[in-house]
Amino acid sequence: MADTLTQTQKALLTLRQRVLSGAISGGTRLYEVALAEELAISRTPIRAALSRLAEEGLLERGRGGGFVVRSFALADVVDTIDLRGVLEGTAARYAAERGISLEQLERSRATLREIDRVLATQDIDMEAYSTLNTAFHLQLALMSQSATLQRELARITALPFASPSAFLEDHDRREALQRTLAVAQAQHIAILDAIAGREAGRAEALAREHARAARRNVEFLLSDEGVQREGVPSLALVRD
Amino acid sequence: MADTLTQTQKALLTLRQRVLSGAISGGTRLYEVALAEELAISRTPIRAALSRLAEEGLLERGRGGGFVVRSFALADVVDTIDLRGVLEGTAARYAAERGISLEQLERSRATLREIDRVLATQDIDMEAYSTLNTAFHLQLALMSQSATLQRELARITALPFASPSAFLEDHDRREALQRTLAVAQAQHIAILDAIAGREAGRAEALAREHARAARRNVEFLLSDEGVQREGVPSLALVRD
DNA sequence: GCCCACCTAAATGTATACACATGATGATAT
DNA sequence: ATATCATCATGTGTATACATTTAGGTGGGC
């Protein structure tokens, strides 16, 4: 059967979920034997899963073997979001410098039109926005025409707090959210416009600034005025 | 005994060397059983080694399991070097924005003075230069005060052709080499000067341009006028 | 009282037998 | 002649027994 999950895949899904949800806190060492017993899976697939989680950047290899859950301070979160901005800025610059096909341009414009449609409604469908937003950022990576850049962006973006659509779920105040999304969409449009107009420097600067909004969001959430961090899935693995 | 290599380490060293040297060409699939027989090591440590090489970016996981040696086209090489420039540019900018300690500044200045000394001799000690050059680039990463950035720079730099000291071994013409190194050293000095003077934009631009020199070097080596690629270790895993 | 060596428990490292998935091959029926 | 299905070869997936390493505690000697 093709839909049967291997033991490695089961372990991978379970452990990834546990780490991302914060069920296992940063710095915790993961012992193969303990996990094997608990998940009723032998050590071999557990090791394979741990190894892949290390590839994803969720675990670190400890000295003398073993794996430890990676621990992220606020500074790490901010730096990682900024780094996404730098990489997306580079992607935008490449897209502008190298030029993109009419098909690519039209596809991205269509995505932005759909986002406009979602934002026009009174009660915004956040899941739809999130999907479309992620799609636009993915298209931006593709427009760079650099496999290297796509790869590194995918790596960074795999961290939940560095994803382009992080921190969208938890806005308690509707009007603040609508304003934020309107600004973000204006930046999307400007980035694509700069790329279409071959304005490389402008495209890069805009994409950097776009990520900066996410950074402000985090800083607000983790400030005293922010909501409880408990309710924010993207921040589950961030330590105090 | 502490100096005894585990089987995994043996396999890792052997396989890494084979991939880096080009003994196994890009796109080749690596079979566990074959490697296990050949290296007289059981499959378990072989798998562990392959997994770590995938983490290092030298192998890719194939569909349906298995590992394949990653294949780099010229475009990938150029993009990766450029990416190093972008990341080092960001490191330089952070260093300038955030400020560095006097100890850090003096340490880097000392490194640059040593490079000056090496370059002043008639017959340049390339190994000494390479070591010092690598040290300076490492210090630049540290000055960023961003663990995230340090991590990503280390990842990129692990690829032989993206290392700051790549392509130093194979210059046939001495005077061209001396000119290249003099320019590079001038850039080093300017970058550190910009950081010390808190000139963030200048620091970033200079670090980017510094990587561009490596890019020009590759493009020359792979052009018709360049030497045979065979003699260039850094390019062993680059495909035609 | 302190330090060093040894011991032990608990962890990872290793080998290997077997299970399972997949794709190639060839025989057979239509 | 071709399509289909059984069979087999070859790969990874999994479990498990055993080896090895190492950290920590405990004892003895100085």
Domain containing B41 — which CATH number?
1.10.10.10
| From B83, B147, B148, residue closest to A149, measured CB to CB | B83
Task: Please give the backbone phi and psi of residue A60, each rounded to the nearest 5 degrees, phi first.
Answer: -120, 150
Q: What is the mean pLDDT of residues B176-184?
A: 89
Other Cβ atoms less than 10 A from the Cβ of A230: the count is 9
> In the Cβ-directed half-sphere of A230, how many Cα atoms lie within 13 Å?
1
Cβ proximity of A206 and A194 under 8 Å: yes
Tracing tokens 């032989």 back to the chain, one arrives at B160
Contact between A90 and B86 using a beta-carbon 8 Å cutoff: yes
Give nucleotides in strand C with any atom < 7 A to a protein C-beta. 10-17, 21-23
What is the Cα–Cα distance from A94 to A78, expressed in whole angstroms?
Answer: 24
Cα torsion through B182, B184, B189, B194, rounded to 10: 150
Residue B51 corresponds to which tokens in the numbers above?
A: 């997994």
Nearest by CB: B79 against A86, A146, A156:
A146
Longest dimension (CA), chain B: 59
Query: Do B52 and B138 belong together in one domain?
Result: no
Helix axes B7-21, B32-39, angle to 10 degrees: 110
Question: Domain residues for B122?
Answer: 73-239
Nucleotides of strand D within 7 Å of the protein's CB atoms: 10-17, 20-23
DSSP strand pairing (A29-30 vs B59-61): unpaired
A123-171: pLDDT as tens digits: 889 999 999 999 999 999 999 999 999 999 999 999 999 999 888 776 6
Subunit contact A152:B147, Cβ cutoff 8 A: no
> Reduced to 3 DSSP states, what percent helix, strand and coil does chain B have, rounded to the nearest 5?
70, 5, 30
Same domain? For A83 and A100 the reply is yes
A155 and A192 housed in the same domain: yes
Same domain, yes or no: A87 and A195 = yes
Instruction: Burial-class residue A124 by CB neighbours within 10 Å (0-12, 13-18, 19+).
Output: middle
* pLDDT value of residue A184: 95
Is the same domain home to A32 and A66?
yes
Domain shared by A103 and A217, yes or no: yes
- Tell which of B70, B97, B114 closes a domain: B70
Pick from B70, B88, B114: which residue ends a domain? B70
Checking if the pLDDT of B88 tops 80, the result is yes
Residue with tokens 């390339």: B126
Q: How many structural domains are present in chain B?
A: 2
Q: Are residues A82 and A196 in the same domain?
A: yes
pLDDT (tens digit, 9 = 90+) per residue, B109-155?
999 999 999 999 988 899 999 999 999 999 999 999 999 999 999 99
Q: Which residue is nearest to nucleotide D10 (CA to C1')?
A: B33
Neighbours of B205 (CB within 10 A): 17
Average pLDDT, chain B: 91
Q: How far is the C-alpha of A116 from the C-alpha of A186, rounded, in Å?
A: 10
Q: State whether A65 and A100 are in the same domain.
A: no
Q: Which protein residue lies nearest to nucleotide D12, measured between its Cα and the C1' atom?
A: B65
According to the 3-state scheme, what is the secondary structure of chain A?
CCCCCCHHHHHHHHHHHHHHHCCCCCCCEECHHHHHHHHCCCHHHHHHHHHHHHHHCCEEECCCCCEEECCECHHHHHHHHHHHHHHHHHHHHHHHHHCCCHHHHHHHHHHHHHHHHHHHCCCCCHHHHHHHHHHHHHHHHHHCCCHHHHHHHHHHHCCHHHCCCCCCCCCCCHHHHHHHHHHHHHHHHHHHHHHHCCCHHHHHHHHHHHHHHHHHHHHHHCCCCCCCHHHCHHHCCECC
Of A206, A212, A231, nearest to A221 by C-alpha is A231
Which pLDDT tens digits describe chain A residue by residue (240 residues)? 445 788 999 999 999 999 998 899 888 999 999 999 999 999 999 999 999 999 999 999 988 788 999 989 999 999 999 999 999 999 999 999 999 999 999 999 999 999 999 999 988 899 999 999 999 999 999 999 999 999 999 999 999 999 998 887 766 677 788 888 999 999 999 999 999 999 999 999 999 999 999 998 888 887 766 566 666 777 788 877
- Contacts with B86 from chain A: Cβ below 8 Å: 86-87, 90
Taking every pair of C-alpha atoms in chain A, what is the biggest distance, in angstroms?
Answer: 59
Residues 6+ apart with CB under 8 A from A203: A89, A92, A93, A95, A96, A191, A194, A195
Check residue A231 and give its pLDDT: 67
Cα dihedral A92, A211, B164, B27 sign: negative
Domain end call among A19, A46, A70:
A70
The answer to whether the CB of B196 falls within 8 A of the CB of B105 is yes
Domain holding B178: CATH number? Answer: 1.20.120.530
The answer to whether residues B110 and B211 belong to one domain is yes
Are B79 and B66 within one domain? no
Q: Are residues A106 and A59 in the same domain?
A: no
The answer to whether the Cβ–Cβ distance between A90 and B90 falls below 8 Å is: no
pLDDT tens, position by position, B197-230: 999 999 999 999 999 999 988 888 877 665 666 6
> Left if phi > 0, otherwise alpha if psi is -120 to 50, otherwise beta: which for B27?
left
Helix or strand holding residue B10 (H, E): helix B7-21
Distance spanning both ends of chain B, measured CA to CA: 45
Q: What residue of A is the nearest CA neighbor of B73? A: A147
| Residue A147, min C-alpha distance to chain B (Å) | 7
Alpha carbon distance B188, A40 (integer Å)? 56
For residues B159-183, average pLDDT: 83
Q: Find the CB nearest A148 among B76, B147, B152.
A: B76
Contact A90 B80 (CB under 8 A): no
Distance (Å, whole) CA B220 – CA B227: 9
Whole-number Å distance between alpha carbons of A22 and A34:
18
Q: Is A228 exposed, middle or buried (0-12, 13-18, 19+ CB in 10 A)?
A: exposed
Q: Are residues B118 and B219 in the same domain?
A: yes
Contacts of B219 (CB under 8 A, 6+ apart): B74, B78
Which position has the higher pLDDT, A65 or B61?
A: B61
Enumerate the residues of chain A whose CB falls inside 8 A of the CB of residue B76.
Answer: 147-148
According to DSSP, residue B85 is labeled: H
